């Protein structure tokens, strides 16, 4: 007996029982009482926030019996997000699980008048994925959740698919919550997010066609520019493309070059870097492009995917002009879209008195240098 009481086996038994018992006592919630959130929305109206959570409703039998899933949107109005989450959870008798949330949709009024620091609530919640996409709805976030998506898909997941497609169009300037919050904490930096519009379209499934049901589709080709004071301006499709060239690293997309005989190029990669010279008050944006012509053309009786010299010059001019137009658009709207002031501030931290003036970015001359490599 004494031997048993001092043996390691007794300790192991006590440890095992202890761990099992304590695990049972820990607050664990059954899957039945959980709502898995796939999309989150925020609107602002009459000094109140409306939180939308699009959640999965598992069907009896689940996928194994061919059941598939349904989705519903739960909403609550409150002064802040924590209270809204609490309201939804109490009304539904569930716990909201945000780990699978893939998108945060901010209504226009939220961006114009709401407190954008509320987004930090999601960022600081360890359960929310940092890769959550942040977008702006052209009108209300609610419209997006209520839309009848053509492909028969739930709206938030359809949006994620369009924002992170296998073949990204140049007009999509997707941003994750991690990037959004990082940029938002830098007061000199302008933030961006794609703007989502809804368009009516023909339904894509036979059943919906039979029911004469009209379907919605999302258009994502504009970009909202946001700072700490809220929405500043909206970039159209062309300006969004130029913004992506100037500020983002791209690995896909097709650019159409007009101005004469139309041709298009497939962008294999696009990288930009900025150089700042305070003496010359000059900001140089260098863009390195790797491209291939989307369609072959004939040269000396042979088919080739290479651009002619004239086409390459037109491609370079198109990109240069686009970025200069973007800068001009920013100057007109008093928005430093290219974050020129922040760039100078980082390079010349001892010259802040000269750089941190209100119109500094407007007085800078912008030089765009595009290098094209054909593969």
- Which residues of this chain interact with other proteins, rule CB under 8 A? 11, 14-15, 18-19, 22, 25-29, 95, 98-100, 120, 123-124, 126-131, 176, 178-179, 181-186, 343, 346-347, 349-350
| Minimum distance from residue 224 beta carbon to other proteins (Å) | 19
* CA angle (111, 88, 39) in 5-degree steps: 50
Instruction: Compute the Cα dihedral for 276, 226, 220, 133 and give only its sign.
Output: positive
Closer CB to other proteins, residue 34 or residue 297? 34
| Minimum distance from residue 10 beta carbon to other proteins (Å) | 11
Closer CB to other proteins, residue 116 or residue 198? 116
Residue with token string 């169009």: 169
| Minimum distance from residue 181 beta carbon to other proteins (Å) | 4
| Minimum distance from residue 251 beta carbon to other proteins (Å) | 12
Closer CB to other proteins, residue 177 or residue 198? 177
Closer CB to other proteins, residue 95 or residue 375? 95
Closer CB to other proteins, residue 76 or residue 101? 101
| Minimum distance from residue 54 beta carbon to other proteins (Å) | 16
To the nearest 10°, report the CA torsion of 270, 292, 235, 367. 60
For residue 92, the cross-strand partners are none
Q: Give the residue from 136, 147, 167, 361 showing the smallest Cα distance to 230.
A: 136
| Minimum distance from residue 101 beta carbon to other proteins (Å) | 8
| Minimum distance from residue 80 beta carbon to other proteins (Å) | 16
Closer CB to other proteins, residue 178 or residue 333? 178
Closer CB to other proteins, residue 24 or residue 64? 24
| Minimum distance from residue 67 beta carbon to other proteins (Å) | 22
Instruction: Kindly state the DSSP code that residue 118 receives in the 8-state scheme.
Output: G
| Minimum distance from residue 189 beta carbon to other proteins (Å) | 9
Instruction: Annotate 229-249 with b (16+ C-beta within 10 A) or e (fewer).
Output: ebbbbbbeebbbbbbbbbbee
- Taking a C-beta distance cutoff of 8 angstroms, is the pair 290, 267 a contact? yes
CB atoms within 10 A of CB 298: 8
- Taking a C-beta distance cutoff of 8 angstroms, is the pair 107, 44 a contact? yes
Closer CB to other proteins, residue 275 or residue 299? 275
E-strand stretches of the chain? 34-45, 48-58, 69-78, 95-97, 103-106, 133-137, 191-201, 215-227, 230-235, 254-257, 263-277, 282-293, 297-299, 302-304, 365-374
SS3 annotation, 234-249: EECHHHHHHHHHHHCC
Instruction: Kindly state the DSSP code that residue 217 receives in the 8-state scheme.
Output: E
Closer CB to other proteins, residue 138 or residue 179? 179
């Amino acid at each position: 007996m004494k031997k048993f009481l001092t043996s390691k086996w007794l300790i192991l038994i006590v440890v095992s029982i202890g761990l099992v018992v304590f695990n049972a006592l820990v607050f664990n919630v059954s899957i039945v009482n959980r709502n898995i959130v796939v999309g989150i929305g925020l609107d602002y109206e009459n000094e109140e926030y409306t939180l939308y959570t699009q959640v999965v409703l598992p069907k009896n039998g689940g996928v194994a019996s061919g059941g598939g899933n349904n989705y519903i949107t739960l909403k609550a109005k409150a002064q802040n997000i924590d209270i809204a989450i609490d309201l939804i959870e109490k009304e539904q008798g569930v716990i909201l699980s945000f780990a699978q949330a893939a998108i945060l949709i901010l209504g226009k009024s939220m961006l114009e008048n709401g407190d954008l620091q509320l987004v930090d609530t999601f960022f600081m919640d360890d359960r929310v994925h940092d890769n959550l996409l942040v977008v702006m709805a052209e009108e209300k976030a609610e419209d997006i959740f209520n839309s009848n998506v053509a492909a028969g898909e739930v709206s938030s997941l359809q949006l994620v698919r369009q924002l992170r497609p296998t073949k990204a169009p140049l007009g999509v300037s997707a941003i994750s919550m991690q990037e959004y919050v990082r940029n938002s904490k830098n007061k000199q930096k302008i933030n961006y997010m794609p703007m989502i519009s809804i368009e009516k379209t023909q339904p894509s499934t036979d059943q919906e066609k039979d029911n004469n049901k009209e379907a919605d589709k999302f258009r994502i080709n504009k970009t909202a520019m946001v700072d700490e004071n809220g929405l500043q301006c909206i970039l159209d499709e062309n300006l969004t493309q130029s913004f992506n060239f100037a500020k983002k690293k791209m690995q896909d997309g097709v650019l159409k070059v007009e101005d004469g005989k139309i041709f298009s190029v497939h962008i294999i990669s696009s990288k930009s870097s900025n150089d700042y010279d305070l003496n010359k008050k000059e900001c140089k944006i260098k863009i390195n492009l790797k491209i291939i012509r989307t369609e072959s053309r004939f040269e000396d009786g042979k088919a080739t995917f290479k651009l002619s010299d004239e086409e390459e010059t037109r491609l370079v001019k198109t990109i240069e002009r686009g970025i200069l137009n973007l800068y001009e658009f920013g100057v007109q709207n008093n928005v430093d879209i290219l974050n020129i002031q922040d760039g100078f501030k980082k390079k010349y931290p001892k010259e802040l008195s000269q750089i941190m003036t209100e119109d500094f970015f407007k007085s800078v001359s912008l030089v765009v240098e595009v290098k094209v490599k054909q593969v």
